[in-house]
Amino acid sequence: MDDTPTTPAGPAGDIDAPSSPAEAGARPTALLPFTQLARISAYWLGLTAIDGAVGLYIGYQLAYTNIRGDVPLGAATAFVTLGASVVAILVQPTVGAISDYAVSRWGRRKPFIVVGSLLDLVFLFGIATSNTLLLLATFVVLLQFSTNIARGPFQGYVPDLVADSQVGMASSMVGMMQIIGNLTGFALVSLAAFLGNRPLAIAAVAVVELVTMASVVVGVGKGQAPKPRGGKSWVEIARETWGTDILRERSYVWLVASRLFFLTAGGILFAYVVIYLKNVFGYDESGAGAVNGAVLAAVLVGSLIAVVPSSRLSDRIGRKPVIYLACLVGATGVAIAAFAPHVAVAILGAGLYGMAYGTFLSVDWALMTDIIPRASAGRYMGLSNVATGSAGLFAAAVGGFVLDIAARLGGDAVAPRAAFLVAVFLYGVAALLLRPVVEPRRGPGGAVARAAPDASSV
């Protein structure tokens, strides 16, 4: 397929670069060829493959090796993940905001994507070779530092390029690649565990990220021109990221909070699925790897069934009703897993969770893109993706706290079920936090009508 934009905008490498700063806040009008949409989305696969692989790898290391010594499982999980959560929260939006102003011949986003991705390879090697709890935690923190150097600017890169009429399609593609990426990471670690060589999975996801990063950097345009710095230093711009002016965008703030709770709920399922299979159903490491493959297959099938229809439905009836449905289906799926008398029933619950996950990823991203200020996309998308990047880490910490308490009160077999029930509650909180979000009006063909200001930010 031809990679030339469908409306005149110069060479493909300069797609949607506005001719003046005044245009920088506007949605691009040039339609991206499908090949470029696919390349942008593919980098999501690389990033989320790392999330899935590292999260599950930590679970196996803590459950099936003596790396944690006498430290309780939940406490060890929290120790490994909490510092990384703080780093993700600080780095991603700050670097995203800096990229809004960055000037380079590659555009304002690409240099950060390249540097962050290359550093990821170094720290993934450190995770794969860590043989103490402290060393593992250190490299997980360093990985969060490097990967969020890439993620913050990349979050802003997508709104830089995608026209209103392509938001629905881009949203479904982003959601699909995030799903496939997460499950790629999970599947690689499960297969490596079955084969008795878990570090091999970490090497594999490093290759996946490198390939998808190169595809974006080489094959996708520069995007929007940088914002004028107006004499501000980089330190001032970094501080500006955390300015309280963002609180005026109330719909945005509520949506980020809803996203955090939704993804934390699902993250508990993935963080403790290995412990669940071991303590509830008695599987050894190899058996848990094999059964987890079936769980992942159910999640994948459910996600792929839901992602495109839910995105199209949201174009017709609005984003929020579809996200409410995702909360309900996700809570139902995790509740089924919590009470499952047999692993086959748990796999059914995983399939429902997959449908909720696919629906949410495609529709929530579209709603976020609808409501953020365009010129500061790096800042706003970076802050929003703190929820995405840190949810799994919060899930491990919250689930681990519940796991340790429930194990003391009811035994090891009860503990993972109790953690899953907490996830049901978190889905309910996510739905409640979505209520104050004011969804932009949609005009003919599903395009967002931007003439009227968002009442929630007044």
Blockwise average pLDDT, block size 10, the chain, 458 residues: 38 37 52 78 88 86 85 82 83 86 83 93 94 93 92 78 73 78 85 85 92 86 78 84 79 90 89 85 81 84 86 86 95 94 92 92 82 70 70 79 88 89 95 91 53 39
Give the distance from CA 173 to its chain's centroid: 14
Contacts of 184 (CB under 8 A, 6+ apart): 45, 49, 52, 53, 205, 208
Q: Which residues contact 317 (CB under 8 A, 6 or more apart)?
A: none
Return all residues near 165 (Cβ < 8 A) that are at least 6 apart. 31, 445, 446, 447
Residue 442 backbone phi and psi in degrees, to 5: -115, 130
pLDDT confidence of residue 28: 65
259 CB-near residues (< 8 Å, 6+ apart): 364, 368, 384, 387, 388, 391, 430
| Residue 127 CB partners (closer than 8 Å, separation 6+) | 54, 57, 136, 139, 140, 143, 202
DSSP letters spanning 57-107: HHHHHHHHSSTTTTS-HHHHHHHHHHHHHHHHHHHHHHHHHHHHH---TT-
Residue whose C-alpha is closest to residue 254's, from 432, 381, 395, 91:
432
> Helix 133-161 vs helix 110-129: angle between axes, to the nearest 10 degrees?
160
Q: What is the pLDDT of residue 9?
A: 37
How many Å apart are CA 329 and CA 340, to the nearest integer? Answer: 16
pTM over 0.85, yes/no: no
Place of tokens 């094959």: 219
pLDDT of residue 454: 42
> Would you say 244 and 453 are in contact if contact means Cβ atoms under 8 Å apart?
no
Residue 329 confidence (pLDDT): 96
Q: CA of 372: how far to CAs of 80, 83, 318, in Å?
A: 33, 28, 17
DSSP bridge partners of 448:
442
Q: How far apart are CA 311 and CA 322, in angstroms?
A: 9
Q: How many residues does the chain have?
A: 458
Q: Which residues of 136-150 are buried (b: 16+ CB within 10 A; e: fewer)?
A: bbbbbbbbbbbbbbb
3-state class percentages of the chain: helix first, strand second, coil last, to nearest 5: 75, 0, 20
Query: What is the predicted pLDDT for the residue at 4?
Result: 38
DSSP line for 324-344: HHHHHHHHHHHHHHHH-SSHH
* DSSP annotation of 55: H
pLDDT score, position 248: 81
Cβ-Cβ contacts under 8 Å for 139 (sequence gap 6 or more): 123, 126, 127, 130
Whether 255 and 440 have beta carbons less than 8 Å apart is answered as: no
Instruction: Give the other-Cβ count within 10 Å of 20's Cβ.
Output: 7
Q: Domains of the chain, with CATH numbers?
A: 36-228+247-438 (1.20.1250.20)
Alpha-helix runs per DSSP H in 102-220 = 110-129, 133-161, 167-195, 199-219
CB contact at 8 A, 79 and 133:
yes
Contact 221, 36 (CB under 8 A): yes
Beta bridge partners of 442: 448
CA distance 332 to 21: 48
Give SS3 for 373: coil
For 317, the token pair is 């009836």
